[in-house]
A and B are shown apart, each in its own frame.
Chain A
Amino acid sequence: MKPEHAATAQRQPLFGLAFAGLAVLLLFSIVVTVTMGPADIAPMEVWQTIAHHLGLVPESPVSRLRDAIIWELRLPRVLAAAAVGAGLALCGAVMQALTRNPLADPYLLGLSSGASLGAVSFLLLGASLLMPLGAFLGAGAAMALTLAVTQLLGGATPTRAILAGISISALASAATSFLIFWSATGDSYREILSWLMGSLSGTIWSEAALVLVALAVIGPPILLSGRALDAFAFGETSAASLGVNVPRLRWILLGSTALLTGVLVSIGGAIGFVGLIIPHVVRLMTGSRHRLLLPVAMLLGACFMIWTDTAARSLFAPRELPVGIITALIGAPIFLAVLLRYRRIT
């Protein structure tokens, strides 16, 4: 037996190990990255602050300033990063399965750019509270356009979908840039640009709560559809012959991913490649069964995003690097590797 074959026989225990290991790593990452930054904070202080704010202990020995740094500045940002990473990985894995396209990802299929356009439009119209709605509408419209253009190109192959995604993405980005050019000035201009490249800078509790709630509401139905997604391994006809209601499932899942992408982009901007690379890495561990793949991908995506975002705010401190630049630096080479691996079908 080739080593690859021997390895797959042991996937079940590997899944348990991966899941437990990643859950521990996620908790560890949250606590450790909150301590990282200009103010020197100990892990114990993080626990004490969290316990105090959750009402578990009446008095906290942590000073007010440090308490504010932990609770108001760093924790919302770290939790938002975790939720954004988990959400992007989930969206990517679902889109890859549903479109049978190993290159599918919210960023590459134009959803993120569409969401950015929607969010910026609502922002500039003065409806900043409705930004997530605008982002959802933008993501949904971009997805519909990408799928329509893919059909026009003669049916869904991965390359056609990516080409369609690039064209829709370019169009949406140009429209976004024009809107910003037209109406934004000075500081707000720079801020919006940084957010467009993907940045979690200045995340506050209400924003972190929005992504966490979105993930908690949209995530479980997607996770439950894992087995139905497995049925798509051999295409839509095959899925239908296994009793899956293909049109209904497709609408539910594409709608959910557009909604989730909208929320993620409205908070973190267009962070690329996370949805592409995380599912591929996880597939090497758990295989393609989505009941295992989806939860593990969410955990790994969360950890990945926490650390890349920490790097983004630490590497050139006090200046912030948009985290989208880091994920692109890591993700683009992996994208190429995936492209090479699947060259016979693209």
Chain B
Amino acid sequence: MSGLLVSALGVTLAGKRIVSEIALTAAPGQLTGLIGPNGAGKSTLMRALLGLGPIGDGTVTFHGENLLSMPSRQRARTAAFVEQSGQTDARLTAREVVTLGRIPFQSLWQSMPSPEDLAQVDAALDAVDMQAFAARLYHTLSGGEQQRIQIARALAQQPRLLVLDEPTSHLDVHAQLAMLALLQRRARKTGATVLIALHDLNLAASFCDSLVLLHQGRLVTQGTPAEVLTPALLRDIYSVSATLLLHPTSGRPLIAYDLPESPSQ
């Protein structure tokens, strides 16, 4: 089986079942979106399938290899994770932050980055178009620039699986579209598998090839945006009523939310 295959994944935290019986697939070269209301368990699921944070039960394979039993360094060379917002007080330049992505490739005794490390860091900076910002201190960058540097750091890990937890949440519209276009291009070009949690359903519908809908720690359904984003599911899961339109050029689903009645004038 190629790509990411998750089955019967569950996480118990302090005696409480946070997510359970999750089964999903994410295909290479595609963007798979993880959606669901707040508290659906998206972040917990993403961490669990990468073997980070609380240990999950169930199986997670990637291109046939067991991701959870993989040695942590090898896993870090296979899968990269981008958190919602990367904040730090460390005095690191943007380039130094991207170079952190080379840690899983560097030996204990190596004192300086290898030529291969430097080449990968440059390629990653180019991929997110941040070469001009490389010498800037990371904490002086804007939220969107920091997020692009985080993605470059993840790309420097040369991952075949890229997992991103709501990477667009602090970005303006232009930066959101640019980031998703970048991830889409990257997936298509390198055949990487991208799993991305998104809050904005229209953004998810526009860019993702497949959507996974979570609710209260359980899988509701997985399918194409048109299959998942139905008025009935939006009402049941998100408690909103909406009309589904078609995007005039892409033909993808477009959600028009019905507005709550405004008080009469």
Contacts and interface: CB of A to CB of B under 8 A. Distances in A.
Contact of B135 (A9, A224, A227, A288): A9
A319 interface: no
A156 interface: no
Interface range for B = 35 or more
A119 to B, nearest CB: 33
B103 A244 contact: yes
Interface string B124-143: 00000000000111001000
Interface in A225-255: 227-228, 230-231, 233-235, 237-238, 240-245
Interface string A1-28: 1101110110100000000000000000
A283 interface: yes
A345 interface: yes
Interface stretch (B12-20, B93-101, B179-187, B203-211): B93-101
B76 A241 contact: yes
Given A5-B140, A8-B137, A243-B103, A233 B90 contact: yes
B92 A287 contact: yes
A9 B134 CA distance: 9
A47 interface: no
Given A241-B80, A289-B96, A234 B87 contact: yes
B137 A4 contact: yes
A100 interface: yes
Contact of A242 (B86, B92, B96, B104): B104
Interface in A207-236: 224, 227-228, 230-231, 233-235
B133 to A, nearest CB: 9
Contacts of A6: 135
A102 interface: yes
Contact of A238 (B72, B83, B92, B104): B83
Given A242-B101, A291-B111, A5 B136 contact: yes
B255 interface: no
Interface in A283-299: 283-284, 287-289, 291
B72 A245 contact: yes
Interface string B39-57: 0000000010011110000
A189 interface: no
Contact of B72 (A2, A9, A224, A243): A243
Contacts of A244: 72, 103
Contact of A241 (B50, B89, B92): B50
Given A237-B53, A241-B81, A8 B93 contact: yes
Given A5-B140, A241-B50, A342 B92 contact: no
B191 to A, nearest CB: 21
A243 B73 contact: yes
Contacts of B74: 243
Contacts of B140: 2, 4-5
For A1, A228, A245, A288, which residue has the most chain B Cβ atoms within 10 angstroms?
A288
A240 B52 contact: yes
B75 interface: yes
B77 interface: yes
Nearest to A342: B89
A151 to B, nearest CB: 13
B144 to A, nearest CB: 17
A224 B79 CA distance: 25
B135 A5 contact: yes
A10 to B, nearest CB: 9
A290 to B, nearest CB: 9
Contact of A230 (B47, B72, B103): B103
Nearest to B72: A243
B190 interface: no
A235 B150 CA distance: 13
Contacts of B101: 242
B91 interface: yes
A139 B87 CA distance: 31
B103 A345 contact: no
Contacts of B109: 224
Given A5-B137, A8-B135, A243 B75 contact: yes
Given A242-B76, A245-B72, A287-B96, 17 more contacts: A5-B137, A5-B140, A8-B137, A9-B93, A9-B135, A227-B103, A230-B90, A230-B92, A230-B103, A234-B87, A237-B81, A237-B83, A238-B81, A240-B51, A240-B52, A241-B76, A243-B77
27 contacts: A2-B140, A6-B135, A8-B93, A8-B137, A224-B109, A227-B106, A230-B92, A230-B103, A231-B100, A231-B103, A234-B83, A235-B83, A237-B83, A240-B51, A240-B52, A241-B50, A241-B76, A243-B73, A243-B76, A243-B103, A243-B104, A287-B91, A287-B96, A288-B90, A288-B91, A288-B92, A289-B92
Top 8 nearest A-B pairs (CB, nearest first) are A243-B76, A288-B90, A243-B73, A243-B104, A241-B81, A9-B135, A233-B90, A242-B103
Interface of B: 47, 50-53, 72-77, 79-81, 83, 86-93, 96-97, 100-101, 103-104, 106, 108-109, 111, 135-137, 140, 157
